[in-house]
Amino acid sequence: MNLKKAVRNINRSIIKKQPKSIDHKWIKNKCKISYQFIADNIKDEFNNTDWDLVVSGLERCNQKLWMKGVKREAIESYKNKDELSIILDKYRNKLYTFLAQENREDKIICDLVSIKLVRLAQRGNILAKEKVVELSNHLINQWIEFNEGLANWKRYNELIIEVQGGCIRRFRYAGSFVGYLYRTMEYSGRGITPLDKFSLDDISRITGKRIIETFINK
């Protein structure tokens, strides 16, 4: 047994049994051999079962079933630098992928690191959330600079932070966190007025004066 075979068995069981939602308990009951292998061998940096790695190997349609409809429980915020360091120290030489991605492997690594930090943030570690925001800002700046679809976000720094926070809270197990953040900004940005098109030197259609003069007079 290896991870590839374990995931293949889970995919087959899902197709056969057609559940509306799956989680580790479902796998334990329906795929006992695969579950035992995963529980014994597939661990994350904190020696917990790495379900992100398992779910990422499922068929795309099956990924969407993972904990579908399950509400997240309220969590208590805390700060733990040691937890954050465990992840950052392991991937220290891979953090360049948030600045530049030369190939598909770089993109996969960037997403892997971001997801691990997001999971830690979802458990309540404030420092992990801050790190996700810091690192993803590098990607966002590139998107805004080189992608016309996100150019409207330029100088909306506070709103960008709100979007990042929302994505961190809502991200589940299916797909790419970087891709999810990108799509969220793309869709949300369609209704944003580009600040570059607005100037205090513009003439008001109502007063006939420069907009800045209206504020000064008040």
pLDDT for residue 200? 52
Confidence of residue 68 (pLDDT cuts 50, 70, 90): confident
pLDDT in tens, 170-181: 998 767 899 999
Q: How much is the pTM? A: 0.80
What is the pLDDT at residue 204? 58
Rounded mean pLDDT, 94-117: 93
Residue 194 above 80 pLDDT?
A: no
* 207 band by pLDDT with thresholds 50, 70 and 90: low
- The contacts found for 64-71 with CB under 8 angstroms, 24 or more apart, are 64/174, 65/14, 65/19, 65/20, 65/21, 65/22, 66/21, 66/22, 66/23, 66/172, 66/173, 66/174, 67/21, 67/22, 67/23, 67/172, 67/173, 68/20, 68/21, 68/22, 69/20, 69/21, 70/21, 70/23
Q: Output the average pLDDT for the chain.
A: 88
Q: What is the mean pLDDT of residues 137-153?
A: 91
Q: What integer is the mean pLDDT of 20-46?
A: 95
pLDDT band at 156 (very low <50, low <70, confident <90, very high): confident
